[in-house]
Amino acid sequence: MTQTQPIAPPRGTEAPRRTGASVEVDHVSRRYGAVTALQDASLRAAPGEMVAVTGHSASGKSTLLNLIGGLDQPSSGSVLIDGTEIWREPDVARHRRELVGFVFQQHFLLADLTARANIEVALIGAGMPRARRRARALELLGEVGLAHRGEHQPGQLSGGERQRVALARALANEPRLLLADEPTGALDTATSQRILDLLGELRARRGMTLIIVSYDEQVGERADRMLTVTDGVLTANQ
């Protein structure tokens, strides 16, 4: 058994640092050649809302998340974040970096870098000097309860710890919209619960909007709203 670390420091009743972004997905389709991964999907999330998206494998969940986060472009329809279409921005990458945090289905940490350095990489684009990047990465590791693992590489961390580093990296640029794709997919129930508690706390503290793809029933129970994707078609659960 590894020692149990508090996942985030205790806190009072701080007001959120900033408000979450609104999300408006309007009749969006995404075709990959002959495959229609998503068909005429519409979804709205109010600032600070938590929306859970579920559905079978290959139903189009990651496609939806990638489109919302501006990692992929719709074949038709539009995605507005705070009323702005990301693909109309002059600098899409910068706009995305300043607004959106991703926790990917595979954690995508760089294997040769330490946990701390993985987070620092996310801060390079923001033009932060090296010493500040380092301090900020350590602060973020503390926020996810991993201050003691900063010098470990991903291969030296447990699955849950890796997922927490990925979460810290996603938070590095203070996103107003956090998109999480199966953040608890590979974890046991207790660890999943801790990650979800952490996400909930971070959402309240930072005022983020959260869209989370998951098969996990715990996620649905915590969400304000739940949606299901079936063969590329998005529907709201009753």
* Interaction site with ligand ATP (CB under 6 A): 32, 35, 37, 55, 57-63, 105
Min. distance of Cβ 47 from ligand ATP in angstroms? 25
Q: Taking Cα atoms as reference points, which of 236, 219, 218 lies closest to residue 227?
A: 236
Q: Which residues contact 150 (CB under 8 A, 6 or more apart)?
A: 114, 115, 116, 137, 138, 141
Our CB check for ligand ATP shows the closer of 35 and 135 to be 35
Residue 124: C-alpha distances to residues 81, 90, 109, 136 (Å): 24, 20, 15, 12
114 binds, among ligand ATP, Mg ion, none (CB under 5 to 8 A by kind): none
Q: Residue 62 interacts with Mg ion (CB under 5 A)?
A: yes
Residue 43, classed as helix, strand or coil, is: strand
| Spatial separation of the C-alpha atoms in residues 31 and 124, rounded to whole Å | 33
The answer to whether residue 22 forms part of the interface with Mg ion (CB under 5 A) is no
Q: Is 215 left (phi over 0), alpha (psi -120 to 50) or beta?
A: alpha
Residue 76 or 156 having the CB closest to ligand ATP? 76
Per-residue x/- track, 93-132, Mg ion (CB under 5 A): ------------x---------------------------
* Closer residue to ligand ATP in complex, CB, 119/212: 212
Residue 149 contacts residue 161 (beta carbons within 8 Å): yes
Residue 59 interacts, among Mg ion, ligand ATP, none and using kind-specific CB cut-offs from 5 to 8 Å, with ligand ATP
Residue 46 interacting partner from ligand ATP, Mg ion, none (CB closer than 5 to 8 Å by kind): none
DSSP state of 18: S
Could you say which of ligand ATP, Mg ion, none residue 163 binds, taking C-beta under 5 to 8 angstroms by partner kind?
A: none
Q: In Å, how far from its chain's centre is CA 201?
A: 14
Residue 124 near which of Mg ion, ligand ATP, none (CB within 5-8 Å, type-dependent): none
Q: Smallest distance, Å, CB 71 to ligand ATP?
A: 11
